[in-house]
Amino acid sequence: MSTCPTFTKLPLTEPYFRDFGFRGAVLSKIKLGSLGGVEDVTGAVIYLASDASALATGSALRVDGGWTAE
């Protein structure tokens, strides 16, 4: 099983990113150098919820800003 960890800017995650140490540790793992937001995952969600993904099985769609690129 493949996992695609990352963090996104949401009201629930905002308090964590006020901690500059935590924010720096997270951003150091994201190759694109910035946190994603809801708008950054919307396309993937629409794809997975649509008939366009009807033949997609057992795979991971990485929408992680490069976190898993190592």
**Is 36 a member of any domain?**
yes
Query: What's the total number of domains in the chain?
Result: 1
| Host domain of residue 12 | 1-54
At 50 the three-state DSSP class reads coil
- Contact, 11 vs 69, CB < 8 A? no
Q: What is the pLDDT of residue 61?
A: 86
Structure tokens at 47: 């794809």
**Is 63 a member of any domain?**
no
Tens digit of each residue's pLDDT (9 = 90 or more) over 1-24: 456 778 999 999 999 999 999 999
**Is 60 a member of any domain?**
no
Q: What is the pLDDT of residue 1?
A: 45
The bridge status of strand 8-9 relative to strand 36-37 is: parallel
User: Of all helices (H) and strands (E), which one includes residue 49?
Assistant: helix 38-49
Tens digit of each residue's pLDDT (9 = 90 or more) over 20-58: 999 999 999 999 999 999 999 999 999 989 999 999 887
Position 69 confidence tier, pLDDT thresholds 50, 70, 90: confident
